[in-house]
């Protein structure tokens, strides 16, 4: 009995000691794991290469839209009240301070940032790290508005810390990322998150497919780097979606592979040259595809305007052509079309496939370097003829009609909407008096009489309940597509 009891106590003590050892061992493992998950070592190496940028910019007149975007919230109320109370003043330009971020890409003083951070700046000041007492004046080496990138340079004698670009094509949704920047002017702010999505498109920005992240990006972060966990720059923080102006977990960065290409060109010559086609287009959608009798899987870019004298016109591209392939690349996403064109070789025959009235047509275009103004004005005169169909009254283009509705001479064909029935589908879908209807379902409209005939033919050829006319409309020299359902008898 004594021996048994002694064994029991010994066993109990042994289990207790084992439990303490296990707890100690597990604590050590947890501490090691927790330490291995820290990104402090990576941050210490990267932060010195990230700079704070402050600029002095001129704000014209009383336009609140011109207030710089990378400012703390309280500044916006000040500027809005200031501008709104400037009655009686001469509306001279006002100097304001704008904040942003950037990063060194070499030890020679080259800094990458966003174009909107430094655009129209009279003075650009750079602060490195937390050294607020030492400010460097930067000069602009080059900038590119279409990708919102800019290259700056400061002159220093000592070697500077810098970071390297990584391969943005290799990142995956779910990968961890780090953002460092001058958030709200505090400088050196570090946030982390994941890649939320790839290939995002933002309205008004046609040359890029952005990386989306939930890493906190706020005002002042613009132009700062987004790093992968190896410390490589895989994006340039550019924009946020925010109803309140602060971070809500949706930020966007320019992929590093785009930035590398642009920055290399800026370093070499300070100027970006892209291939130029000379069209305006809109993405094809199911409603347009259905109206043209195409399958639901058809993707591409529908041409809404062809500039006079452009490579597109010389190649035979016509308004309402649907471009489905360019230089061997299928346009599964029409938004990537400008980037495909911009990166294609210049002065070399390039094939493109278009759908024209249901048939695939292969054309060959020779791109030119981008031009600023290639509109060639042509004059035209016709007798005035009018007609009304499906609640839309139209008239032929004449000098009197052009003058009355202020229609530019560069619009060479089409009919003008002179009156709309408020109960018509055209009115409900946004058509307005003075709009010029250029084509209907890929057929050019050359007269008011033809306008009525084309609509009638669509009605006769369409199954019951499915008649839709796709109008190509020019309004104040801006083209758009407008689907109009046609009521069947």
Convert the pLDDT of each residue in 22-32 to its tens digit: 444 444 443 44
* C-alpha distances in Å from residue 382, one per residue of 38, 385, 386, 412: 75, 9, 12, 11
Whether 222 sits among the annotated catalytic residues: the reply is: yes
Give 346's contacts (C-beta < 8 A, 6+ positions apart). Answer: 273, 275, 367, 368, 369
- Tell me the two tokens of residue 335: 């938004």
Q: Which residue among 54, 101, 116, 305 is the active-site one? A: 116
Whether 404 sits among the annotated catalytic residues: the reply is: no
3-state SS, residue 39: coil
Whether 421 sits among the annotated catalytic residues: the reply is: no
Q: Count the Cβ atoms, other than its own, within 10 Å of residue 445.
A: 23
Distance CA 331, CA 311 (A): 19
For 37-64, where are the alpha helices, taking DSSP H only?
A: 40-46
Q: Which residue among 54, 98, 216, 222 is the active-site one? A: 222
pLDDT for position 311: 94
List, for residues 130-158, the tens digit of each pLDDT value: 666 688 999 999 999 888 999 999 998 88
List, for residues 392-450, the tens digit of each pLDDT value: 888 888 877 888 888 888 887 889 998 888 888 888 888 888 999 988 888 888 888 78
pLDDT for position 94: 61
**Mean pLDDT in the chain?**
78
Name the E strands within 203-343. 205-213, 225-227, 233-240, 251-255, 275-276, 279-283, 301-306, 322-326, 329-330
- Contact status, residue 372 vs residue 146, Cβ threshold 8 Å: no
Per-residue confidence at 243, pLDDT binned at 50, 70, 90? low
Q: Which residue among 70, 144, 148, 353 is the active-site one? A: 148
Per-residue confidence at 178, pLDDT binned at 50, 70, 90? very high
List, for residues 253-299, the tens digit of each pLDDT value: 999 999 998 999 899 887 787 888 988 888 887 777 777 777 777 88
Domains in the chain, start-ordered, CATH in brackets? 46-153 (2.40.10.120), 168-257 (2.40.10.10), 275-369 (2.30.42.10), 386-485 (2.30.42.10)
Distance CA 336, CA 212 (A): 17
- Contact status, residue 112 vs residue 263, Cβ threshold 8 Å: yes
Checking if the pLDDT of 109 tops 60, the result is yes
- Contact status, residue 82 vs residue 70, Cβ threshold 8 Å: no
Q: What is the mean pLDDT of residues 346-351?
A: 92
- Contact status, residue 241 vs residue 248, Cβ threshold 8 Å: yes
Please state the φ and ψ torsions of residue 42, each to the nearest 5 degrees.
-65, -45
Whole-model pTM: value is 0.60
pLDDT for position 10: 41
List, for residues 445-471, the tens digit of each pLDDT value: 888 878 888 887 777 766 665 678 888
Share of the chain above pLDDT 70, in %: 75
């Amino acid at each position: 009995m004594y021996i048994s009891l002694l064994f029991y106590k010994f066993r109990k003590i042994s289990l207790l000691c084992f439990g303490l050892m296990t707890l100690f061992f597990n604590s050590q493992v947890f501490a090691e794991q927790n330490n291995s998950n820290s990104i402090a070592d990576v941050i210490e190496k990267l932060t010195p290469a990230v700079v704070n940028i402050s600029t002095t910019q001129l704000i014209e007149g009383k336009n609140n839209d011109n207030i710089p975007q990378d400012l703390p919230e309280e500044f916006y109320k000040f500027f809005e009240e200031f501008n709104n109370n400037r009655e009686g003043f001469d509306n001279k330009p006002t100097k304001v301070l704008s904040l942003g971020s950037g990063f060194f890409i070499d030890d020679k003083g080259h800094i990458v940032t966003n174009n909107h951070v430094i655009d129209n700046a009279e003075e650009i000041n750079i602060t490195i790290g937390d050294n607020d007492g030492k400010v460097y004046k930067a000069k602009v080496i080059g900038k590119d508005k279409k990708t919102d990138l800019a290259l700056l340079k400061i002159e220093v004698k000592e070697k500077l810390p810098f970071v390297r670009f990584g391969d943005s094509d290799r990142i995956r949704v779910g990968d961890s990322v780090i953002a460092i920047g001058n958030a709200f002017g505090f400088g050196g702010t570090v946030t982390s998150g994941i890649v939320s999505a790839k290939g995002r498109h933002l309205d008004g920005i046609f040359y890029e497919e952005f990386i989306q992240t939930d890493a906190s990006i706020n005002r002042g972060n613009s132009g700062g780097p987004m790093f992968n966990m190896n410390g490589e720059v895989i994006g340039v923080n550019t924009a946020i979606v925010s109803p309140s102006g602060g971070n809500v977990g949706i930020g966007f960065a320019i992929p590093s592979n785009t930035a590398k290409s642009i920055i290399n060109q800026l370093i070499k010559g300070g100027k970006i040259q892209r291939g130029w086609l000379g069209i305006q287009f809109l993405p094809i959608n199911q409603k347009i595809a259905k109206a043209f009798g195409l399958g639901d899987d058809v993707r591409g870019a529908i041409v809404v305007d062809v500039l006079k004298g452009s490579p597109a016109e010389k190649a035979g591209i016509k308004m309402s052509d649907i471009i489905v392939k360019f230089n061997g690349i299928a346009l599964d996403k029409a938004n990537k079309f400008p980037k495909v064109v911009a990166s294609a070789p210049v002065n070399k025959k390039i094939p493109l496939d278009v759908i024209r009235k249901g048939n695939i047509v292969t054309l060959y275009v020779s791109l030119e370097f981008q031009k600023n103004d290639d509109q060639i004005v042509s004059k035209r005169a016709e007798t005035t003829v009018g007609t009304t169909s499906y609640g839309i009254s139209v008239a032929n283009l004449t000098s009197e009609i052009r003058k009355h509705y202020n229609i530019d001479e560069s619009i060479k064909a089409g009919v003008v909407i002179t009156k709309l029935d408020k109960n018509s589908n055209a009115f409900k879908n946004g058509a307005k008096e003075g709009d010029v209807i250029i084509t209907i379902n890929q057929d050019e409209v050359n007269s008011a009489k033809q306008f009525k005939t084309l609509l009638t033919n669509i009605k006769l050829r369409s199954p019951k309940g499915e008649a839709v006319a796709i109008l190509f409309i020019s309004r104040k020299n801006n083209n758009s597509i407008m689907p109009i359902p046609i009521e069947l008898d």
